[in-house]
Amino acid sequence: MSDPVRLAKHVADLARCSRIEAEQYIKNGWVTVDGHVVEDPAHPVSTEVVALDPAAQLDAIEPATILLHKPVGYDAIKGRKAAAGLVQPGTRWPEDPSGVRLLDRHFHRLTPLVPLDTDASGLMVLTQDRRVWRRLTEDRDEIEQEYVVEVRGQIAPYGLYKLNHGLQFRGRALRPCKVSWQNEFRLRFAIKGVQGGQLRDMCAQVGLEVVAIRRIRIGKVALAKMPVGAWRYLPVGGSF
């Protein structure tokens, strides 16, 4: 039996490339060991079958941004039941149109952004990309979010007008927003700078009880038809 060697050395010999290039191929997910992708250049190999994908490229892999359909009951940013735990290889949406190759490194150091109430469902963002982090942190209050809110009860006179203009939350006047009826049970909110508990409070102020809240859009990125609990990648170059 051969003495184990670092995978990077084996790939360098196999591909007749430098050790640095071999490490890049491995980190980019182009190398398999006995048919399984291995992304650690230090992984020891001896008699295993090591293969380099013929389509392998040395281009740097972009940091990942993941879009999750958060279920009700999960904490978006922090808490004991963190939604980030749902982001696993097996829960990727099979119809993900991004074209991004799934890599183990995409599941490390993901930062959740744009708060969403625990009792709400819908679009959530987790990222490794500092550009996305900066956009959704520094400009968050200027990025429009869209929600579908299921309600019951009888809306107060001029209630729809008040939802669009003139309500307060926690003692402060709210900015105007766009609220309309989607059907007789659901309101659609297009709103900026929304705070935790704000939508429920706004509805209560006009006599409505909230049954369910679902966020369907953040900026230019929509939830689309992705099912609850599934996730997909934001395409490389995509933005909010």
Say what the pLDDT of residue 55 is: 84
Task: Say if CB 73 and CB 64 are below 8 A apart.
Answer: no
Task: Render pLDDT for 48-100 as a digit per residue (tens, 0 to 9).
Answer: 889 888 988 887 788 999 999 999 999 998 888 999 999 999 999 999 999 89
Task: Render pLDDT for 125-164 as a digit per residue (tens, 0 to 9).
Answer: 999 999 999 999 999 999 999 999 999 999 999 999 999 9
Surface-to-core class of residue 63, CB atoms within 10 Å of its CB (0-12 exposed, 13-18 middle, 19+ buried): middle
Say what the pLDDT of residue 141 is: 93
**Res. 1: pLDDT tops 70:** no
Task: Render pLDDT for 170-226 as a digit per residue (tens, 0 to 9).
Answer: 999 999 999 999 999 999 999 999 999 999 999 999 999 999 999 999 999 999 999
Q: Which residue has the higher pLDDT, 1 or 111?
A: 111
Say what the pLDDT of residue 107 is: 93
Question: What is the residue-wise DSSP string for the chain?
Answer: -PPPEEHHHHHHHHHT--HHHHHHHHHTT-EEETTEE---TT-EESSS-EEE-TT---SPPPPPEEEEEEPTT-BSSSSSSBGGGG--GGGB-TT--S-PPP-GGGGSSPEEES---TT-EEEEEEES-HHHHHHHHHSGGGS-EEEEEEEES-PPTTHHHHHHTT-EETTEEPPP-EEEESSSSEEEEEESS--TTHHHHHHHHTT-EEEEEEEEEETTEE-TTPPTT-EEEPPTT---
User: Which residues on adjacent β-strands are paired with residue 103?
Assistant: none
HSE-CB of 4 using CA atoms within 13 angstroms? 7
The model's pTM: 0.85
